[in-house]
Amino acid sequence: MDPYLPEHGDPNYHVEHYDLELDYRVAAGRLSGRAKITAVAKTALTRFALDLGTFKVNRVSIDGKPTRFTHRGHKLTVQARLAAGRQFTVEVRYVGNPTPINTKHWGELGWDHLEDGVLVASQPTGAPSWFPCNDHPSDKATYRISVTTASPYRVIANGDLIDGRVGASTTTWVYLQLEPMATYLASIQIGRYEFIERADDRVPLRAAFPMRLLDGYAHDFGRQSEMMVAFERMFGPYPFNAYTVVVTDDDLDIPIEAQGMSIFGANHIDGRRGYERLVAHEMAHQWFGNSVSIADWRQIWLNEGFAAYSEWLWSQASGGQSADALAKVTWARLAKLPQDLVLADPGVERLFDDLLYKRGALAVHALRLRLGDAAFFAMLRDWTLQNRHGSVTIEDFTRHAQRHSPKPLGDLFTAWLYQAALPELR
Ligand SMILES: [Zn+2]
């Protein structure tokens, strides 16, 4: 059970693979889905729960045999007698007009309509707005996502496009995501997008955007190749096959991270690289959050502290202000604010609080100052390599960092992660 979001996920089984066949009518906003989920029972079960939003569920079967189920609120409870360790396949057929999941702290999450298309932005609990799932960040699985929709639209999903079938009026797009992925990072984007791929780099960089943003994209995202090189040098090898940026025709409040993908709004292109900080932040999440994932939502510092710190690392690597200068300015600004946030346990309502990002980045910088650059970056590369595609806690990180330091780090972590007062930056 997640300490912050216990109503999502079921700890009694583990999903290995999601096979999603979706048919979406853009004009009608209608989704018909068939989800085939391969899972393993962790204990003996008589029933288990999937998270699924307000769809009509037509049929649920286990290993091909129809079974009884109830669908109340966002819980689809399935009757199934399963021995511990037993692998099974649950198939769910569902239909409806997908709507975002309403949340107390973050408004609407998940499947959302654009002016002309679809956006999925699920962090942290929006995934059930479009497919039945075991909605917890630690339950990572592989995915095959097939989407059929009207031919003028392009569909982008996580992983590699492995098949496309163009019919008279509809096109089917099939994506395969073979690295394990948390449910909140699963995403599909539908729009009238141009698509380009830059394959001459070590990591192919792909992009989808409306034609009108071609020049703006080329300029504002033009340093992503250099960014990828700099981040691989600092964080270790990029953990996925490719990296895709989607820029929607609509404006978005904030960019969105997904596995192997980031989504920006048209407003994040200003022709002056005014949002390059966010370009770096989202790319860094591929290491911190998407490959190395949090074991539960309380561990959010491991995502946001490191992604926010990466903004400063990129600033310095690209000839801008140094990470140290940015840390000092940020420290001085935070010192004037009330100190009421504990990074290791920020509370559910402050998961995405700006203070968590800024203080989170400062904590990473404080560790860097203590370790020195050589040991700090070796520690970071080791962290992303050892926990590649895994799930981690803050305690895993502090133990890991300690192994890279001859001197005890306990006082540093206590002050920065477990106490609210803002420590001095030395
Ligand atoms: Zn972030």
Q: Which of 98, 74, 90, 119 is nearest to 18 (CA)?
A: 90
Q: In CATH terms, is domain 1-99+119-188 a member of 2.60.40.1730?
A: yes
| 214 CA → ligand 1 middle, Å | 25
Residue 378: per-residue pLDDT: 98
| 287 CA → ligand 1 middle, Å | 12
| 352 CA → ligand 1 middle, Å | 8
| 180 CA → ligand 1 middle, Å | 20
| 308 CA → ligand 1 middle, Å | 7
| 231 CA → ligand 1 middle, Å | 16
What distance in Å separates the CA atoms of residue 127 and residue 282, rounded to the nearest whole number? 19
Q: Which of 359, 311, 308, 369 is nearest to 337 (CA)?
A: 359
Query: Nearest 10 degrees: CA dihedral of 331, 335, 338, 341?
Result: 30
Q: Which of 43, 100, 101, 52 is nearest to 78 (CA)?
A: 52
| 184 CA → ligand 1 middle, Å | 13
| 285 CA → ligand 1 middle, Å | 7
Angstrom distances, CA of residue 300 to CA of 48, 134, 135, 236, 293: 27, 19, 16, 21, 9
| 278 CA → ligand 1 middle, Å | 9
Residue 397: per-residue pLDDT: 98
| 424 CA → ligand 1 middle, Å | 25
| 106 CA → ligand 1 middle, Å | 14
| 282 CA → ligand 1 middle, Å | 6
Domain regions of the chain by residue span = 1-99+119-188, 193-286, 293-417
| 410 CA → ligand 1 middle, Å | 26
Per residue of the chain (426 residues), give pLDDT as tens. 899 999 999 999 999 999 999 999 999 999 999 999 999 999 999 999 999 999 999 999 999 999 999 999 999 999 999 999 999 999 999 999 999 999 999 999 999 999 999 999 999 999 999 999 999 999 999 999 999 999 999 999 999 999 999 988 999 999 999 999 999 999 999 999 999 999 889 999 999 999 999 999 999 999 999 999 999 999 999 999 999 999 999 999 999 999 999 999 999 999 999 999 999 999 999 999 999 999 999 999 999 999 999 999 999 999 999 999 999 999 999 999 999 999 999 999 999 999 999 999 999 999 999 999 999 999 999 999 999 999 999 999 999 999 999 999 999 999 999 999 999 998
Which two structure tokens, joined as six digits, stand for 106?
Answer: 């973050």
| 358 CA → ligand 1 middle, Å | 11
Residue 1: per-residue pLDDT: 87
The CATH superfamily holding the domain 293-417 is Neutral Protease Domain 2 (1.10.390.10)
| 305 CA → ligand 1 middle, Å | 8
Task: Please provide residue 69's backbone torsions phi and psi, each rounded to the nearest 5 degrees.
Answer: -155, 160
The residues, ordered by sequence, that sit 6+ positions from 333 with a Cβ below 8 Å of its Cβ are 358
Q: Are strands 13-25 and 194-198 parallel, antiparallel or unpaired?
A: unpaired
CA angle (362, 364, 370) in 5-degree steps: 100
Residue 109: per-residue pLDDT: 95
| 63 CA → ligand 1 middle, Å | 39
| 104 CA → ligand 1 middle, Å | 20
| 336 CA → ligand 1 middle, Å | 24
What distance in Å separates the CA atoms of residue 9 and residue 297, rounded to the nearest whole number? 12
Q: Tell me which fold the domain 193-286 belongs to.
A: Zincin-like (3.30.2010)
| 39 CA → ligand 1 middle, Å | 29
